[in-house]
Structure formats: structure tokens, C-alpha cells
Amino acid sequence: QSALTQPPSASGSPGQSVTISCTGSNNDVGGYNYVSWYQQHPGKAPKLMIYEVTKRPSGVPDRFSGSKSGDTASLTVSGLQAEDEADYYCSSYADGQVFVFGTGTQVTVL
Amino acid sequence: EVQLVESGGGSVQPGGSLRLSCAASGFTLSNSWMSWVRQAPGKGLEWVANMQRDGSEKYLNSVEGRFTVSRDSAKSSFYLQMNSLRAEDTAVYYCARRAYTAFHIWGQGTMVTVS
């Protein structure tokens, strides 16, 4: 049950794109297509942005997209907007019917 | 509207116990996969426990044997009983409704301080 590895920070100017990586192992990210991504603003509860690697819940802008290759998943935010500034966490279903979260990435809109 | 509201947090001494409650509305608790997730001050999210639709349970290694999840369908409530609390259990605790593979709905969280 080790945390998935994310870069501590990422940034981009308004309108640009930013991509966040999430690296695990064959026991979690690489073994299942069950990676999800969460956005968390300061003092608020997390919000689901992507599930099952690429799917977007209703109401999430299509500027948010997900992908996976091997043991690494990625979240891309295109057309960055000021309100996208937040912490982002990945999560994966893992062996043993458990879940593991990533270390978190703080996204700054310059 | 689907909603989760946690309660029961507070301050407790090491070795003490607390029971967190999560009031669910807008959906049928007994047909849902539910989880608890915590976040220590200034830290990242950490999955704590699952209750599956069939009532089976899974726990984070570090809380196994100390924490227990349960539900009361009649009260539409989901619980986390925490015993033998340690300083490292200090966190905001969120309950979440899963659609099996991801945490779709979150409560606002309740703070637990062990000191």
C-alpha cells in the first residue's frame, strides 16, 4: 500500500496545457484500468474529475482528459483557467481490493 | 440530491476511541460501495477503509484491527469506529460513495485530533 508518485508541482499560463503524471506498479496502476483523478481546492472536499482512466463524470469540462501507459497514468488540463488552480490527486484500485492515492500535485496558473 | 454529511469528529487522547458517522441522502446506502478517506494536516489523501455492497470490508494496513466500518440502512448512515487512536491518525476524515472503481461523491469531512 505505497502511495503513487506524482510531481509535487506543475504550472502553466492561462490557455496553455499542463500534464500531471502518476506512477505506480503492476499491482495497481499497471494492473487495472481503474485510475481516477481528483481536484481539491484549499479547505474543500476532493472532487472527481476522471475515472476509469479516461471517463469524465457529468459536469466536468472536456478540458480535462486522462490516459495511461504501463504503470503510469496522466491527467492533462487543456486551456488552463484560473479556477483550475488546485491540488490534484490520482488514485488506483489495487491488489487486495484496496485503493491507493498519489502524493498530490499542486497546479499553479501563472 | 445525493449528499453525504459526516459528524463525530473531535479531540481525543492517544489510546482513546471515536465513532464517526456519515449521513447519506439521495441514494440507497445498502446498494452502495462506501469508503472512508483521510487527510492529515497539510498532507495528501489516504484511503482508510471500504465497505462493499455485500457488506464485506477492507482496511488500510495501519488501521487493520483498530478501525471498523459498519452501516445502518434504516438510518441511512455509514460509520467508522476508531479504537486505540494514535497521533498519526490525526486527520480530516471524509466518507465517500464509490461507483466501484472511484470515489464519486464526498462529504465535507470531519476533523479528528489525537493529542
Question: DSSP states of A35-100 as a string?
Answer: EEEEEE-TTS--EEEEBTTTB--TTS-TTEEEEEETTEEEEEE-S--GGG-EEEEEEEEETTTEEE
pLDDT at A1 over 80: no
> pLDDT category, B100, cuts 50, 70, 90?
confident
Q: Are A13 and A110 in contact (CB under 8 A)?
A: yes
Task: Say whether residue A51 is in contact with chain B using an 8 A CB cutoff.
Answer: yes
Task: Say whether residue B111 is in contact with chain A using an 8 A CB cutoff.
Answer: no
Q: Which of B44, B99, B104 sits opposite A101 (nearest CB)?
A: B44
> How many angstroms separate the first and last alpha carbons of chain A?
35
Interface probe for A, chosen from B61, B67, B95, B101 (most Cβ of A below 10 Å), is: B101
> pLDDT category, B40, cuts 50, 70, 90?
very high
Q: What is the grid cell recorded at A6? A: 506524482
In residues, how long is chain B?
115
Q: Are B40 and B46 in contact (CB under 8 A)?
A: yes
Tens of pLDDT, residues A53-91 = 999 999 999 999 999 999 999 999 999 999 999 999 999
Tell which residue, A2, A3, A15, has the closest CA to residue A110.
Answer: A15
Task: Say whether residue B115 is in contact with chain A using an 8 A CB cutoff.
Answer: no
Q: Are A8 and A103 in contact (CB under 8 A)?
A: yes
Tens of pLDDT, residues A15-60 = 999 999 999 999 999 999 999 999 999 999 999 999 999 999 999 9
